[in-house]
Structure formats: C-alpha cells, structure tokens
C-alpha cells in the first residue's frame, strides 16, 4: 500500500515523497499491515474558501481525506491535488512547511491521526 508524504529536509524545505506500507495475507478479510501506534484523532471540516499559506504541520500526523478536494504546495513550488479517499503523512513539522487550499469550492471533511514520537511507518 502506498501514499504520499510531505517532509522537511535539513534546510527546512518541504518535499513530497512516498510511503510504502507492507501488507500481508490476513486470510478471508484481506491483506493487513502490522499494527502502528497512534495518538489522538481529530475530525475536521475545512471551509470551501480555505487557502492557508506557508505553515508547518503542528505534529507528525496522518491526514485521511473523506470528502472534498484540496491542493498542497511544497517549497519547490510543486503542487499536488488530493481528494476523498486519499491519505497523506504530514511530517514537515519544522521549517517552511507547506501551503494547502480547498479546490472546486468544496468543503473538505478529513480526519487527522497524530503519531507518537518513534512511530515508524
């Protein structure tokens, strides 16, 4: 299973990368990953006109987009669009951070799951 991450380098610049999660046969219920520790869960509704300029993630966290679409921009100026069903790992907790904005005049529903220090995905 694969999804996108946003992380910062030693100079505080943010970048897109990929996360690969190994899954194994879980029998009749499908493929399963190992268990990972999680912290808190936060439900969020983001307004349709949301346009948040440069900011780092407040903590290392997974973002699960349930409904709506958005665009993230990293330090290089590269942008990527995401929609309901997408997952991002936000790890750019220091430095410049990223920009994020709503697309298509849609309210976005999402869930953040914070990751305790030391949790390796």
**Whose structure tokens read 């990751």?**
115
In a domain, 17, yes or no: yes
Query: Is 28 part of a structural domain of the chain?
Result: no
Domain assignment present for 75: yes
pLDDT tens digit sequence for 69-85: 999 999 999 999 999 99
Within a domain: residue 30?
no
What pLDDT score does 74 carry?
98
SS (H, E, C) 14-61: EEEEEEECCCEECHHHCEECCCCCCCCEEEEEECCCCEEEEECCCCCE
High-pLDDT (> 90) share of the chain, % = 98
pLDDT tens for residues 52-66? Answer: 999 999 999 999 999
Q: Does a structural domain hold residue 121?
A: no
What confidence tens digit (pLDDT) does each residue in 31-53 have? 999 999 999 999 999 999 999 99
Query: pTM for the complete prediction?
Result: 0.94
Structural domain containing residue 60: 2-21+39-114
Does 90 map to a domain?
Answer: yes
How many helices (H) and strands (E) the chain has is answered by 0, 12
Per-residue confidence (pLDDT) for residue 42, from 0 to 100: 98
Domain count, the chain: 1
CATH number for the domain including 85? 2.60.120.10
Question: Does 120 map to a domain?
Answer: no
What is the tens place of the pLDDT at every residue in 91-107? Answer: 999 999 999 999 999 99
Confidence band for 16, pLDDT divided at 50, 70 and 90 = very high
Would you state the pLDDT for residue 43?
98
Q: Is residue 84 part of a domain?
A: yes
């Amino acid at each position: 299973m694969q999804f996108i991450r946003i992380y910062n380098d030693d100079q505080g610049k943010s970048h897109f990368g990929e996360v690969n999660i190994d899954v194994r046969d879980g029998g009749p219920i499908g493929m399963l990953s190992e268990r990972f520790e999680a912290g808190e869960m936060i439900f969020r509704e983001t307004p349709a006109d949301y346009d948040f300029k440069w900011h780092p993630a407040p903590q290392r966290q997974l973002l699960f987009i349930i409904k709506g679409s958005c665009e993230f921009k990293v330090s290089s100026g590269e942008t990527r669009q995401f929609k309901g069903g997408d997952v991002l790992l936000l790890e750019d907790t220091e430095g410049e951070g990223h920009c994020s904005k709503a697309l298509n005049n849609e309210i976005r529903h999402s869930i953040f799951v914070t990751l305790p220090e030391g949790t390796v995905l």
